[in-house]
Chain A
Amino acid sequence: GAVVSQHPSRVICKSGTSVKIECRSLDFQATTMFWYRQFPKKSLMLMATSNEGSKATYEQGVEKDKFLINHASLTLSTLTVTSAHPEDSSFYICSARDYRESSGYTFGSGTRLTVV
C-alpha cells in the first residue's frame, strides 16, 4: 500500500528559531498533500493543502507567514514553522493519496514539535 514518510518524528527547538518538517510520498506521486495539526487529546485539524508547483491553500485562522509550505516536487512537501514560539508546540501530521489504490488517504507518522 501507499506509504507516506515524515521527518523528523520529534524535534525540540528554541523560541525564535525555525523548524522544517518533510513529508514524502514513497512510490507514488502526489500533486496534493495535506498538513494537519493535533493538540493533546484533540482531533486533527486541517491546516493547509499543499499543491505541487503552486501556492498552498490555508484554512481560516492559519497564518501563512508562520507556517510556510513548499511543494516543489511530486513526492515532497515541506512545512516550515517560522520564528517558533511555545504555543506552536504540537503534533503535526501530513497526508497524501495514491489514486491508483482504493484505500483513501495515507498519513505520515507525525512530528512532535516542542518549542522551549
Chain B
Amino acid sequence: GIQVEQSPPDLILQEGANSTLRCNFSDSVNNLQWFHQNPWGQLINLFYIPSGTKQNGRLSATTVATERYSLLYISSSQTTDSGVYFCAVAGSGAGSYQLTFGKGTKLSVIP
C-alpha cells in the first residue's frame, strides 16, 4: 500500500513563529488531506488538497503531486495551534479510496 511520511515528528515553536510541516507519499494520489487533532481527539479537516495551493487564514498548503509531497505552512503560530497534525492520502489505484495516515507532527506552541 501507499506509504506516508511526515516530518518533523515533533516541533516546538515560540508563539508568533512560522513553521512548515512536510508530507511525502510513495505513489500517485487522488486525495490528500491535512488534519489537526485537538487534545480531545477531534480530527479537524484543514485542507483537501490533492494538488495545488490553498490558503485559509494563517494556514496554507501546497501539494506537488508530480514530486509526491505536500507542505503545510503555519504562520504567526498561536498556542491554540498546538496538537498533532496528520497528513492522510488515498492512492489513485482501483479500490484504494480509503485514507492512509502518516504518523503525524506534534506541534507545541509556547507563549
Contacts and interface: CB of A to CB of B under 8 A. Distances in A.
B23 to A, nearest CB: 12
Given A91-B41, A104-B31, A110-B42, A43 B48 contact: no
Interface stretch (B12-20, B60-68, B71-79, B97-105): B97-105
A25 B42 CA distance: 16
A110 B41 contact: yes
Chain A binding site: helix, strand, loop or mixed by DSSP? Answer: strand
B41 A93 contact: yes
Interface string A44-71: 1110010000000000000000000000
B89 to A, nearest CB: 10
Interface residues of B, number: 19
A104 B104 contact: no
A34 B99 contact: yes
19 contacts: A32-B97, A43-B86, A43-B101, A43-B102, A43-B104, A45-B101, A46-B98, A49-B98, A93-B43, A102-B48, A103-B45, A104-B45, A105-B31, A105-B45, A107-B42, A107-B43, A107-B45, A110-B41, A110-B43
